[in-house]
Structures are given as C-alpha cells and as structure tokens.
Amino acid sequence: MREKYVSLCDKRKPLKALALPAIKLIPIENSEEEYPAMKQLQKIFLQGLVTFLPIALTIYIIYAGISIVDSLLGDALRQVMPVYIPGLGFLLTIVLIFLLGFLLNNLITAGIFHKMEQKLTQVPLIKAVYSPLRDLMNMFSKGGGPGGGMQTVVLVDIGDNGIRAMGLVTRDSFHDLPAIEKNANDHISVYIPMSYGLGGFTLLVPRSKTTPIDIPIEKAMSLAITGWVKAEKHDGDKHDV
C-alpha cells in the first residue's frame, strides 16, 4: 500500500509558478514642500481658531449668565410693567444682592438672618438643597464658613515615590465636627481639583505631607482645569509657575 501511494505521488505534475504582475513603487512627494501656501493657510486658520474660541465662549457664558439673572426678576417685572426694558431684571438683582450684603454686615440683621437660616435648615427638603449650596459658596469665599473657605494652595505628597498633587486647603480645623476632630490627628482637608472638568475629590492629609506654595487660588484652579498646559505669557500675568 505504501509503495502504491509513493508511485501516485511521483506521477503528480509539478505546479506552475504563479505569475504576479509587476508592482511599480511610486514615491510620494512631500506635500508641504509642494504646497507651501496650503501649509501657511492652515497655520493662519489654527491661530485664528485658538484666539476666537476663548473669546466666543467667554462672551456666550457671560451672555447666558446675564440672561439667567435677568430672568429671575424680569419675568415678574413683565407682569406689572407695561413696557419692560431688557436688562432691568439683571440690574435690580445686582442691587438686591448688594442690599443683602449690606444688611448682613449689620450685627442685628445678621443675627436675624442666622436664626432664620437655622430654622430653614431644620426642614429636611430645604436642608438637603440649601446646605450643600451654602457650603459650596463658602468654599470659594475667603473666611466664609467654619473651615474658612479655600485658604492655601499646597502640594500634597502622594506616597514615598516623589509624586505630588496640587490641592487647595479647605479646612485646617474641625472644631464644628467633633467626631472627625477626635480622629483627625493633625490632618487637614485638601481639595484636589481634576483636569478638564468641574470636579475633584477631598482628602484628609497629614499637615506634614503638604507644602504651601505662593500662588493665587484662581491661578491654581486655572492650572488644574487646563491640565497645567502652558499658554503664551501675557503682560498681565504676574505669577508664573
């Protein structure tokens, strides 16, 4: 049987080589050298786009903010005024804000408002909405709230491998939180902002693991949001990192 199989294999005809068409390689010329005008137009367009987008977004955000504030009292004014002037609700809201701030700087009115605030925060639904918003506003105010708001920009040591993160000290004492103060052990709360987003997380960090740095809080937030991307230096920038 083996001899028969070998003889059949010997009778097979050899396969012919597959003829492939000749492939011609054509070098691709450098388009940048061939079309210098196109490269220059692309550069000009990108420069214009980088300048236009921040301006357009800033104008849009300011316009949207004014429109929202104007609508707070503007809708009510439209019901009582025969002719409504656009922007009047915004101006009236600004006046009321200044008036409220003036009253809160008076000891008597500030005490009355504080008592009203305590009564309001005892209502479950109002407490769930009002208290976080109040704490958020106090966080961005200097000297506001029990913790004093955002106070100092620090670098936080992450582990022992030399990695550091920039954060904002939100509390250096916990006198109003006895349960945390009992276990704080010279810890401070540091808010670590996230890049390219409005978010972050808060850590209780040993004071010895933080290093204060002398830059404004606004500059620190700007660096954090943009991922520390270095922009072109402007004359108005007084602090460089």
Q: How far is Cα 15 from Cα 17, in angstroms, rounded to an integer?
A: 6
pLDDT of residue 241: 46
CA angle 231, 235, 240 (to 5 degrees): 55
pLDDT of residue 195: 82
Domain boundaries, the chain: 37-120, 153-225
Task: Specify which residues 188 forms β-bridges with.
Answer: 205
- Written as tens digits, the pLDDT of the chain (241 aa) is 544 444 444 555 554 555 556 666 665 555 555 667 888 888 899 999 989 998 999 999 999 988 888 888 888 888 888 888 888 888 888 899 899 888 888 888 888 888 888 888 888 888 788 877 887 777 666 554 444 556 789 999 988 888 888 988 888 888 878 788 777 788 888 988 888 767 788 888 888 889 999 888 888 888 888 887 765 555 445 544 4
pLDDT of residue 49: 92
Residues in Cβ contact with 205 at an 8 Å cutoff, skipping those fewer than 6 apart: 156, 167, 187, 188, 189, 190
